[in-house]
Amino acid sequence: MAMAAVELRRKNALLKTGALQNAILNSANFSSIATDDKGVIQLFNVGAERMLGYSAADVVDRITPADISDPQEVIARAAALSVELGTTIAPGFEALAFKASRGIEDIYELTYIRKDGSRFPAVVSVTALRDDELAVIGYLLIGTDNSARRHAEEKLRGTEETFRLMVESVSDYAIVMLDPDGLVVSWNTGVERIKGFTADDIVGRHFSTFYSAEDVASGKPKRALDEAAASGRYEDEGWRTRKDGSMFWANVVVTAIRDPAGNLRGFAKLTRDLTERNKVEVALTNARAAAEKANLAKSDFLSSMSHELRSPLNAILGFAQLLESDSPPPTAVQGESIIQILNAGWYLLELINEILDLATIESGKLSMSLEPVSLPELLLECHAMIDPLAQRRGIRMSAPRSDAPYCVHADRTRIKQVLINLLSNAIKYNTPGGSVAVDCTADAATGRVRITVTDTGAGLPPEKLAQLFQPFNRLGQEVNGEEGTGIGLVVSKRLVELMNGIIGVESRTGEGSAFWVELLSSTPMVLPAAVEPAAAEESAAAATAGLRTVLYVEDNPANMELVERLIGRRKDLRLLRAIDGKQGVELARTCLPHVILMDINLPGISGIEALRILRDDATTAHIPVIAVSANAMASDVQKGLDAGFCRYLTKPIKVSNFMDVLNGALALAEERHADVQ
Amino acid sequence: MPTSNDPSAARILIVDDQRSNVRLLEQTLRRAGYDAVSSTTEPREVGALHVQNDYDLILLDLQMPQMTGFEVMNELQGTRAAHPVSILVLSADSTQTRAVMAAGADAFLGKPFRLPDVVERVQGMLQARGTP
C-alpha cells in the first residue's frame, strides 16, 4: 500500500505541472509521452495518439515507449551505449532513457511502430523529470514524425550521389576542389584525362602544380585565389602544364565556395582544355588570311592582266584603224574584214574594262564621293550619250522629263555608269522598232527615289531573273549574237550598293522588262533666285579697283550653279569657273584670284593635289583656298586642314555659313596683300 | 615658237618603248598633217632631245623598262629648254590619271585609243599654247 501511495504521490506531482502540461497535452504535432521512473507510460497526448494510432487508454499504465519502438534498434542502441558509457545497459526502456537519467541531453532517431504495425522514423528528445529533491520521477519523450525530413534527406543523398557521379565522370572538364589555402581536396576524372595526374599525385598538394614555373614565380596561382575570394569568381585563359610537362591551352574558372554564414570553405576550380579549339581558331585565322591574300592577289592579277592585255590590243586596234582610213582606201572586202577586227577589238577592250572594274570594286579599292546629284540634269546627259546607239538600232527613246526636281545621294560618275549600262541593255535587248522609257518616282515613306528604265524587249521568265546579277551569265544572249560580257549588271549592282541603294528588275515574257535603281533622296540644293539683270550689269560696270575675284573649282554643275548665284548677289565679287584641278591651277596662275573655292573629289588631279601645286608656286602660294567637299567625316576635314586649306566647307552648302567663310577668306586675302605691300 | 598656221611647224616627239606604238602614232600624226614628228624608244634620251630640239609637244608612254614616264616628266621639269613643253601621256593604266596630271602632264589618253581622239587632243593642246 505504501508503494502504491508513493506512486500516486509521484503521479500527482507529475500532473501538477499546470500550463506546461496542458500545452504538451494539446499539441497535436508533437507526440508527448510521459512515463514514470520505470518507463511505464503515464501520459499519452493527442499528438501521440494521432501519430501512433493508439489511444491513451491503450497504453497508459500498460507499456513503455520501448514497446512501441523498433526492437532491433533498441537492442542496437543498448549495445552502443554500453560501449560508449562503459556500463551494461539493458535493451529496453533503459536504452532509451539512460542518458537522460544521467542528466545528459539526449536526442536520437528511431523507428516508432504504430498500433497497426506500420513504422515511421521519429526524432525523439528525452528529458528526465525530477522532484524537488532532484530524484528522477519520470521521463518526458517528445517526438516528431521524421518521415518528411528523412524522405528529403534521401532524395538529397540521391541527388548528391548523382551529382557526384556526374562530376566524377565528366572527362572534358578537370574539376578540382581546393581548401581555402589552395590544397587539392578532391577531383574528378577530367583531371586525369586533361592533366595526366592521378589522385595520388595531387591530392593534398597545392594546386599551383598545374601552373608553369614562370606563372608560379609571378604569383599567378595566388592571384587567382585572391581574386576568386574577393569577387567570387576568377577566369583566365592561358597555358597550363600537364604532369609530363607538356603544355595545353586552358580556360580556367575558379569559384569561391562559402558556407551560409559567408565563411570561405574552399574553391572549385574548373579547367577546360582548349588546345583543339585554339588550333581550330589558329587554322581558321590562317585560312581567312590566306583567302584574303588570295583575293587580293586575284584582284592585283586581274588588274595587271588587264593592263598587259591593253598594250597588244592597242597595236591591233590602232593599225586596223590606220588600214581603215588608208589611202588608197581598202577594197570593200578588205573594209569588211577590217570592221570585223575593229568590232572584235573594241568588244575585247570593253570586256577588259569591265573585268578591271569588277576587280577594283571587289578589292574594296573603289572610292566613292557621295553628294547630292540632280537627276533631271544627269538623265539628260545620259540621254545625250546613249541616243546615237538608240538611233542606230531604230529604238525610240523618250527624252527624260526634267520637271521633277529629284535629287539623289550618289557618286555622280558612278550613277551615270549604272544608268548608261541599264539604258544600253534596254536598247540592245529590245525588239525591232521598240522603245525605251525612263521614269523617276519618289517615295516619301522610304526617303528613296526610284529611277526605272523600261524596255519593250522579250522580257524574262522568273527563273532567269534570279541569274541576272551573276557575273558572265548572259542568259543565252550569246547565241543571239548580241555582244556583251554579262558583267555590266554585276558591276552596276555593286556600284548601287556602294551608294547605299538597291537595284532590281520586274519583267514579263513578251512584254518587256523594267530595271530600277533606288537611291536615297537628297535635299535638292536650294538655289537662290538668279541675280537680276540690272544688278548683273551694275556688277559688270563695277569692274574697277574694288572688284574681287573668286575662283571655284568644281565638276558638279549643280554645285557650280548654286555658288554662281550666291556670288552673283554680291556686286563686289566676280566668279571664275574651272571644272577640274588642272584648269583650276592654270586659271589661278593667270588670274590670281583673291580666294579659291576647291572641290576635293575632282576628275584628274584631286583638290588636295591642286592645292599642293598652288602652294608650291610663289605666285599663288598666298591665295587663301577653301575646301568645299561632300566628304564630311571629321577625318576628312582634318586631312583637308592638314593639307593647308584655310577653311573646310562640307556639302550641302549652307548659304549663311558659306558667306561668312568667304568673307573671312577675303579679309585674310586683304591682310596678306597688305603684308606683301 | 612657231606662229604659222602650218601644222607641219609643230615639233612633236613620241616616246614609247614599243616600236609598234611609235609607228602607229607617227603614221597617225603624219596623216593629220604633222610633219615635224620625231620619235624615240629610249626614254633616257628625252631630256637631251628636248634641250636640243625644243619640242612643242611630247607624247609619252608611262610604263617603260628603262625609265618610267613619271621620271621623264620629272627630268623635263628640270631641263632648261627655251619653252615649257606640253605633255600628253598615253597609258594602259587609267588608274594613274590623277598621278600623271599631278606629275605635270597636260592631258591623258587611255590605251587603246581611237586615232581621231589622239589627233583631236594633239590639236587642242597645240592650240592652247598658240601652236597649231
- Averaged pLDDT for residues A131-138: 88
> A448-455 and A502-508: which strand pairing?
unpaired
Least confidently predicted of A30-39, A119-128, A370-379, A618-627: A370-379
User: Is the pLDDT confidence value at A650 over 50?
Assistant: yes
Q: What is the residue-wise DSSP string for B51-112? A: HHH--SEEEEES--SSS-HHHHHHHHHH---SSPPEEEEEES-GGGHHHHHHTT-SEEEESS
* Cβ neighbourhood burial of B119 (10 Å; 0-12, 13-18, 19+): middle
Query: If you average pLDDT over residues A562-578, what whole number do you get?
Result: 84
Residue A491 has pLDDT above 50, yes or no: yes
**Length of chain A as a residue count:** 677
pLDDT band at A154 (very low <50, low <70, confident <90, very high): confident
- Per-residue pLDDT averaged across A417-444, rounded? 91
Mean pLDDT score, A92-102: 88
Q: Tell which residue, A470, A471, A390, has the closest CA to residue A436.
A: A390
Among the listed residues A469, A497, A470, the one whose alpha carbon sits nearest the alpha carbon of residue A361: A497
Average pLDDT over residues A366-390: 84
pLDDT surpasses 90 at A346:
no
| Residue A542 confidence (pLDDT) | 43
CA-wise closest residue to B43 among B61, B28, B26, B29: B61
Mean pLDDT of A73-82: 90
For chain A, the distance separating the N- and C-terminal CA atoms, rounded to the nearest angstrom, is 148
Q: Which of B94, B100, B85 is nearest to A582 (CA)?
A: B100
What CA–CA distance (Å, rounded) separates B126 from B3? 11
What is the arithmetic mean of pLDDT over A285-297?
83
Q: Identify the burial level of B16 via C-beta atoms within 10 angstroms of its C-beta, where 0-12 means exposed, 13-18 middle and 19 or more buried.
A: buried
Has residue B45 got a pLDDT over 50?
yes
Q: What is the pLDDT of residues A572-617, one digit of tens each?
A: 888 888 888 888 988 888 788 999 999 988 877 888 889 988 988 8
- What are residue A267's phi and psi, to 5 degrees? -135, 150
Q: What is the pLDDT of residue B46?
A: 94
Contact between A496 and A519 (Cβ < 8 Å): yes
**Residue A286 at interface with chain B, using a CB cutoff of 8 Å:** no
Quote the DSSP letter at residue A253. Answer: E
Res B57 pLDDT > 90: yes
B111: chain A residues, CB-CB within 8 Å: 310-311, 314
DSSP state of A677: -
| Residues with Cβ within 8 Å of residue A585, at least 6 apart in sequence | A605, A610, A613, A614, A620
Asked if the Cβ–Cβ distance from A605 to B112 is below 8 Å, we say: no
Give how far Cα A550 sits from Cα of A110, A553, A596, Å: 109, 10, 6
Q: Where does residue A39 fall: left (phi above 0), alpha (psi -120 to 50 degrees), or beta otherwise? A: left
pLDDT at residue A474, as a whole number: 60
Torsion angle defined by CA atoms of residues B17, B20, B22 and B23, in that order, rounded to the nearest 10 degrees: 160
Range A455-466 average pLDDT: 85
How far apart CA A172 and CA A157 sit, in angstroms, is 25
Q: How far is A652 from chain B (nearest CA, A)?
A: 25
Instruction: Compare CB distances from B92 to A310, A321, A604 and report the shortest one's residue.
Output: A310
Under the banding of pLDDT at 50, 70 and 90, the label for residue B1 is very low
What pLDDT is attached to residue B33?
92
**Shortest alpha-carbon distance between residue A322 and chain B (Å):** 7
**pLDDT band for position B25 (50/70/90)?**
very high
Shortest CA gap A367–chain B (Å)? 12
Percent of chain A with pLDDT over 70: 89
Check if A502 contacts B (Cβ < 8 Å): no
Chain A closest-CA separation from residue B106 CA (Å): 8
- What pLDDT does residue A426 have? 93
Our measurement of the distance from residue A279's CA atom to the centroid of its chain's CA atoms, rounded to an integer in Å, reads 24
> Residue B3's pLDDT band (boundaries 50, 70, 90)?
very low
Task: Round to the nearest angstrom and report the end-to-end CA distance of chain B.
Answer: 11
Q: Which residues of A touch B115 (CB under 8 A)?
A: 318, 321-322, 325
- How many other C-beta atoms can be found within 10 angstroms of the C-beta atom of residue B10? 26
Tell which residue, A134, A14, A40, A43, has the closest CA to residue A96.
Answer: A40
Task: Work out the pLDDT band at B86, boundaries 50, 70, 90.
Answer: very high
Q: What is the pTM of this model?
A: 0.45
Q: Chain B: which residues have CB within 8 Å of chain A?
A: 18, 20-21, 24, 27-28, 31, 63, 92-93, 95, 97-98, 101-102, 106, 108, 110-115
**For cell 560508449, what's the residue?**
A84
Kindly tell me if the per-residue pLDDT of A165 is higher than 80.
no
Tell whether the model's pLDDT for residue A648 goes beyond 80: yes
**From the centroid of its chain, how far is CA A167?**
34
Q: Chain A contacts of B64, Cβ < 8 Å?
A: none
Confidence of residue A533 (pLDDT cuts 50, 70, 90): very low
Give the least confident one: A106-115, A447-456, A465-474, B12-21: A465-474
A431 CB neighbour count, 10 Å cutoff: 14
